[in-house]
Amino acid sequence: MEKFYITTPIFYVNDKPHLGHAYTMLLADCIARFKRMRGADVFFLTGTDEHGEKIETAATAKGLNPKEFVDSISIQFKNAWEKLNISNDYFIRTTDKNHEDTVKKTLIKLYNKGDIYKGTYEGWYCVSCEAYYDDNEIKAGKCPMCGKNVVRKKEESYFFKMSKYEKQLREWLSEDHLIPEYRKNEMINFFKDGLKDLSITRNNIKWGIKAPFDETHTVYVWFDALLNYLSAIGYPDENFGHYWPADVQIMGKDIARFHAIYWPTFLFALDLKTPEKMITTNWWISGKEKMSKSIGNIVDPLNFADTYGLDQLRYYLLKEMTYGGDANFNEKDFIQTINNDLAEELGNLLNRTMVMNEKYFNSEIPKPEKQDLKETADKTVKNFLDLMEAYQIDRALKEIWVLVRECNRYVNEKKPWGNEEERGTIVYNLIEGLRIISVLLEPFMPVKAVEIRSQLGVKNHSFEWSGSTKGKNGARTLLFPKIDA
Ligand code: MSP
């Protein structure tokens, strides 16, 4: 059985989850569900990133000790993903003992190998991004990534000899690992003047894992966090390797450099394989800016799921976000998409088909003379599978609508109500078309997909057109109620 290891970033627990985070999870969930449907042995990992200055400061601001604080937020992420029907196999916390042990053991390995040395860090630090910057990276005294204030630092620190792995990193980046591909140059550009060694400990931050070779230092939060992808599958135990390397790692563009530069060099140093693919996602914008708590423009995904339906939200987010650029979250658009794509184009198609079958064939699925929609369905399935395998998720979803629209065109053209001769064939083709649509939709809208098949009264969930689907339609309910705009 093919194994498939997929990861999301682990989320900072400085605040509750928002729609941008939810999107990241939905994308991973959709891919994981698809791979399971294809028969893979999937391990889908997510979790929370709980150490470092950013979290320490957030805890202090609430008057809580950091552990109490992270416990209270981490659970909110866990609960939110359950509510959004996310099918992760594991939820890691960087405060888990096994993760902390992995980080320590890994550091000892690198230390013994001679890849860690003591020095002094001098430069800029952005607490919000937990990132180090050089003078030439700072923009008008602010963080080039998030635009917030940076602080000048000069402190004793242990360094990882990242520079040693520059050649390997360049080679790796030149291969086809990043999706979309244009990020490759962006990454290479980050070290156009050469790859520098990386400061991997802080000596003035308490809330973190203690460096095993010097307990007055805590481990830099990104070094700690990236290792979650290994600790979750048991590294460095001997038989940890079943799922490694990761098949696909998902992350936002803001944290691409940590994943596409730092992370591979850690793996080179540990003599481990590197991930197959990294998907870097764009941002959800609200108003004019990236959705984020500090800007105060966040949208709560759980409220929207409650108000408009969970699968409706999953559909909208997965359709609207592309590799082309940032996406704007807009409630009006969302409602329009539900009414148009889901209620009118898909829901109404199902409803019409069921009503006709009830009226003319007592809800028994008729026998067809011809397989009119087979060709379009086969083509849609092929395109869909190719796009999904290439992680072109929004395009795969839009491809399903080729078949939805063809079904609508077909019924309008054939007019089965006045076409007694072909009526059975037409209704059959619509039912089988809808069955295929439901199968393709399953990774995107898992609940509605099953509901479509249960209304149709069919269980077959193969991607292949079947010329002989039998049975009796089940109860008819409104799949996607229209929303008053
Ligand atoms: N803790 C780090 C990741 C460590 S992974 C070893 C982190 N956490 S985060 O909570 O700030 O962000 C988690 C993910 O959410 C990132 O991929 C980030 O890009 C994504 N998003 C945060 N805001 C977002 C939007 N407004 N839109 C889309 N995704 C965004 O970074």
Give the pLDDT score at 485: 79
**CB neighbourhood size of 476 (10 A):** 15
Residue 254 CB less than 6 A away from ligand 1: yes
CA gap 264, 170 in Å, rounded: 10
Domains of the chain with bracketed CATH: 330-456 (1.10.730.10)
Q: Are 414 and 426 in contact (CB under 8 A)?
A: yes
Q: Are 285 and 328 in contact (CB under 8 A)?
A: yes
Give the pLDDT score at 386: 98
Residue 21 CB less than 6 A away from ligand 1: yes
Per the structure block, which two tokens stand in for 69?
């604080």
Confidence of residue 39 (pLDDT cuts 50, 70, 90): very high
CA gap 216, 213 in Å, rounded: 9
Give the pLDDT score at 172: 98
Give the pLDDT score at 289: 87
Residue 284 CB less than 6 A away from ligand 1: yes
Q: With 0.75 as the threshold, say if the pTM is over it.
A: yes
Give the pLDDT score at 294: 76
Q: Are 257 and 103 in contact (CB under 8 A)?
A: no
Class of residue 144 by CB neighbours under 10 A (exposed 0-12, middle 13-18, buried 19+)? middle
Q: How far is the CA of 310 from the centre of ligand 1 (A)?
A: 21
Q: Which atom of ligand 1 is found nearest the CA of 250?
A: 17
Give the pLDDT score at 297: 86
Give the pLDDT score at 215: 96
pLDDT tops 90 at residue 233: yes
Confidence of residue 287 (pLDDT cuts 50, 70, 90): confident
Element (DSSP H or E) covering residue 69:
helix 66-83
- Ligand 1 pocket test: which of 24, 45, 248, 290 has the largest number of ligand atoms within 8 Å of its C-beta? 24
**Bridge partners, residue 160, by sequence:** 116, 198
CA gap 310, 480 in Å, rounded: 11
Residue 251 CB less than 6 A away from ligand 1: yes
CA gap 373, 432 in Å, rounded: 8
Residue 12 CB less than 6 A away from ligand 1: yes
Class of residue 419 by CB neighbours under 10 A (exposed 0-12, middle 13-18, buried 19+)? exposed
Residue 226 CB less than 6 A away from ligand 1: yes
Give the pLDDT score at 67: 97
Q: Ligand 1: which residue has its CA nearest to atom 24? A: 20
Write the pLDDT tens digit of every residue in 404-435.
Answer: 999 999 999 999 999 999 999 999 999 999 99
pLDDT tops 90 at residue 337: yes
Mean pLDDT (the chain) is 97
Q: How far is the CA of 9 from the centre of ligand 1 (A)?
A: 7
pLDDT tops 90 at residue 288: no
Confidence of residue 188 (pLDDT cuts 50, 70, 90): very high
- Ligand 1 pocket test: which of 11, 54, 148, 248 has the largest number of ligand atoms within 8 Å of its C-beta? 11
Q: Ligand 1: which residue has its CA nearest to atom 23? A: 20
Write the pLDDT tens digit of every residue in 203-215.
Answer: 989 999 999 999 9
- Ligand 1 pocket test: which of 81, 255, 261 has the largest number of ligand atoms within 8 Å of its C-beta? 255
Give the pLDDT score at 291: 87
Question: Scanning the structure block, which residue is given the tokens 């929370």?
Answer: 48
Q: Are 153 and 187 in contact (CB under 8 A)?
A: no
Residue 9 CB less than 6 A away from ligand 1: yes
Among candidate residues 130, 158, 157, 129, the one with its CA nearest the CA of residue 145: 129
CA angle 427, 433, 434 (to 5 degrees): 90
Q: Which atom of ligand 1 is found nearest the CA of 253?
A: 19
- Spatial CB neighbours of 475, under 8 Å, sequence gap ≥ 6: 455
Distances (CA, A) of 256 to 62, 65, 178, 280: 30, 31, 10, 6
Q: Ligand 1: which residue has its CA nearest to atom 18? A: 252
Residue 255 CB less than 6 A away from ligand 1: yes
pLDDT tops 90 at residue 385: yes
Residue 10 CB less than 6 A away from ligand 1: yes
Give the pLDDT score at 298: 86
CA gap 257, 224 in Å, rounded: 16
Residue 20 CB less than 6 A away from ligand 1: yes
Write the pLDDT tens digit of every residue in 53-111.
Answer: 999 999 999 999 999 999 999 999 999 999 999 999 999 999 999 999 999 999 999 99
Residue 11 phi/psi, 5-degree rounding, is -85, 140
CA gap 196, 163 in Å, rounded: 5
Q: Which atom of ligand 1 is found nearest the CA of 254?
A: 19
Give the pLDDT score at 42: 98
Per the structure block, which two tokens stand in for 157?
């620190």
Write the pLDDT tens digit of every residue in 161-180.
Answer: 999 999 999 999 999 999 99
Q: How far is the CA of 468 from the centre of ligand 1 (A)?
A: 47
Angle at which helices 393-414 and 374-389 pack, to 10 degrees? 170
Give the pLDDT score at 296: 82
Q: Ligand 1: which residue has its CA nearest to atom 29? A: 20
pLDDT tops 90 at residue 312: yes
Buried residues in 287-306 as b, exposed as e (16+ CB within 10 A): eeebbbeeeebbbebbebbe
Q: How far is the CA of 308 from the centre of ligand 1 (A)?
A: 25
Q: Which atom of ligand 1 is found nearest the CA of 290?
A: 26
Give the pLDDT score at 84: 98
**CB neighbourhood size of 160 (10 A):** 24
CA gap 71, 206 in Å, rounded: 17
